[in-house]
Structure 1
Amino acid sequence: MTKLNRGGHKRSRKEAIKQVGPGNFLIVTEGTETEVNYFNNIKKIIESLFRNNIIVDKISLKVEGTARSTKVLVNEALKKRSLGTYSEVWVVFDKDDNDDFDEAIIIAKKEGLNVAWSNECFELWLLLHFQDLKSAINRTDYSSKLSSHFKNKNINKGTYDKNFPGIFDVTYPFVEIAIQRSSLLLLDYNNNNKFCPSKMNPCTTVQELVEILIKYTKPKS
């Protein structure tokens, strides 16, 4: 079917393929390996797709690996935000052994930052691509569970590696089910009147950031 513009006329070729990108994102992470590799994968895909299309604004996703945690990370993100112009600023961090986990989330939201947190670790988000997880496990067990799934699906020679640069690429085929599982997990806690992130194990909100970005990993027809 021929698409018409707002005036009821047939769209020109240029008008038909115009697609608005996600704008400028600043993503500040606690981790310096898995998380940065994951979001840099997305960054490369989006920039490669939009570079050769007609867009409103050039895509510029900036990913910062800081090796800092919780409140220190939030303060670092605020400083970086003050030095640039970003449509959205996200902080990505884990519960791990951090005592100020809840406080950092409260401060970030109060300051207008978006938070993609995981309890206990980012690997929970990756694991949800392959299975449901309703009960808490030790964070050291995530790697072995991921390696088991990688072996079954012949991914990265059957081994999960925090330094694996293509982590988004190999999990992308399962990202929709991961979003569904993680969203339902969060909903289950809320339906049971549990809203304190440090008490919600396992749980993550990484899907909220990923769901925004993956819309731009394929050009619209």
Structure 2
Amino acid sequence: MPKLNRAGRKRPRNENTRTTGPGNYLIVTEGIETEVNYFNNIKKIIENLFRNNIIVNKVSLEIEGKGRSTMVLVNEALKIRSLRSYSEVWVVFDKDANEDFNEAIAFAKSRGLNVAWSNECFELWLLLHFQNLNSAIHRDDYSSKLSHHFKEKNINNGIYDKNIKEIFDITYPFLDDAIKRSKCLVDEYKKDKVFSPTKMNPCTTVQDLVEQLIKYTKAN
């Protein structure tokens, strides 16, 4: 049967290709809307791509939106991990006003969890799809900036809101730019010898998780 491209449409298949799908990923997010929608959108694409193909590992991504922050969220991820085996566990959370932000990141890593953090918020990751951002802004300003870009590019009727189900799909054309800009931000802080996530504003490491997942959305 012909393979599917990233959007789920048929395309010719190389008969000699055996594609290995991702293992069992658990993604536990602080947010219960944007982040969950974003990663569920990726999950749907991956599952559509691998459903009718020869696979080695069963596609299994679990997205948990807990609505909890920092250390509480990390402990929740550890609790879920203890109930079954996962190839990778990721926690996704924002800085916001959380005073234990650095401690939660360090604790998660010490327990073998991967962390995709954002300072100030996940919307920074989305905004980097459309522009550079080198200085801190109030978290409330992210939505207005995103709406500006959505209007300019005729996305979602020019309005950004947290409950767009296909948020990964509609930002995908600009994903490479987001990854590049995000990595540049991290590198700039390193050059300035700033390594504390609390002091790295704006900054995000969401690209680390996304880069792992998108390779499966481009399966041959």
- TM-score, structure 1 as length reference: 0.92
* Correspondence for 1:143: 143
Rounded to whole Å, the distance in 1 between the matches of 2:94 and 2:216 is: 26
CA contact (8 A) 1:14 1:54 kept: no
Post-superposition Cα deviations, 1:101-146, rounded to whole Å, max 9, x if no partner, equal 0000000000000000000000000000000000000000000000
Instruction: Give the whole-Å Cα distance in 1 for the aligned partners of 2:131 and 2:140.
Output: 17
Tell me what 1:105 maps to. Answer: 105
Matches within 5 A, 1:38-57: 38-57=38-57
Q: Which residue does 1:7 correspond to in 2? A: none
- CA deviations 1:53-112 (Å, max 9, x no partner) are 101011010000000000000000000011111110000000001010000000000000
CA offsets per residue over residues 15-44 of structure 1, 9 Å max, x none?
Answer: 712101111100000000000000000000
Structure 1 residue runs of 4 or more that deviate by more than 4 Å after TM superposition: none
Counterpart residue number, 2:153: 153
CA distance in 2 between counterparts of 1:146 and 1:204 reads 17
Distance in 2 between residues matched to 1:112 and 1:219, nearest whole Å: 28
What secondary structure, in the 3-state scheme, does the structure 1 residue paired with 2:90 have? strand
Q: What letter matches 1:179 in structure 2?
A: I
Larger Rg: 1
Alignment partner, residue 179 of structure 1: 179
TM-score between the two structures when normalised by the length of structure 2 = 0.93
Structure 2: 5+ residue stretches without partners: 1-12
Quote the sequence identity (%): 72
The equivalent of 1:68 in structure 2 is 68
1:18 aligns with 2:18: yes
Q: How many residues align?
A: 208
Task: Give the gaps of 5 or more residues in structure 1.
Answer: 1-12
Name the structure 1 match of 2:9. none
- Matching residue's letter, 2:60: S
Task: Name the aligned partner's letter for residue 49 of structure 1.
Answer: L
Alpha-carbon separation, structure 2, partners of 1:93 and 1:16: 41
Q: Secondary structure, in 3 states, of the residue corresponding to 1:216?
A: helix
Aligned to 2:37: 37
Q: Are the equivalent residues in 2 in contact too, given 1:51–1:58 (CA < 8 A)?
A: no
